[in-house]
Amino acid sequence: MDCPKCNALMEPVSYGGSNTTIDRCTQCHGLWFDLDEAERMRGEWMSELVDNGDVAVGKVNNKITDCDCPRCGKKMDHVKDAEQPHIGYEACTEHGMYFDAGEFTDYKYDTLLEKIIRLLRR
Ligand SMILES: [Zn+2]
Ligand SMILES: [Zn+2]
């Protein structure tokens, strides 16, 4: 499978505590999750270890929003996370979602600080 952003090869990765295998780009370290995998891994301890890419690279790649699903080749939607609108990922409704390097960690840690800010705004 090729990375939808930089076209480098993506390799399967998993980590100790999980049976979930995702795909990570060997070059930009973007992450591809098949449907449901992201939600599943979000709840798993240390799953952010797979997100070992350079956040600066991820920020640059985040501006590339015109890319195709690595599974079916259809153009993916650029989706802003409902709870954390600064996170934008690419999604194919049939196959899954793509996070730039660093984004999954951010997505997972809907940080305590962000929760507190939301509480204070109510
Ligand atoms: Zn890549
Ligand atoms: Zn697709």
Instruction: Tell me how far apart the alpha carbons of residues 104 and 20 are, in angstroms, rounded to a whole number.
Output: 15
User: How remote is the CA of residue 116 from the centroid of ligand 2, in Å?
Assistant: 36
Contact 50, 37 (CB under 8 A): no
Residues 92-109: tens digit of each pLDDT: 999 999 999 999 888 887
- The order of strands in the sheet holding 10-13 is 10-13, 22-25, 31-34, 96-99, 88-92, 77-80
Q: Which amino acid is present at 98?
A: Y
User: How remote is the CA of residue 33 from the centroid of ligand 1, in Å?
Assistant: 14
Residues 79-90: tens digit of each pLDDT: 998 888 888 899
Give the pTM.
0.83
Handedness of CA 93, 78, 15, 7 (dihedral sign): positive
User: How remote is the CA of residue 92 from the centroid of ligand 2, in Å?
Assistant: 5
Residues 2-22: tens digit of each pLDDT: 999 999 999 999 865 667 789
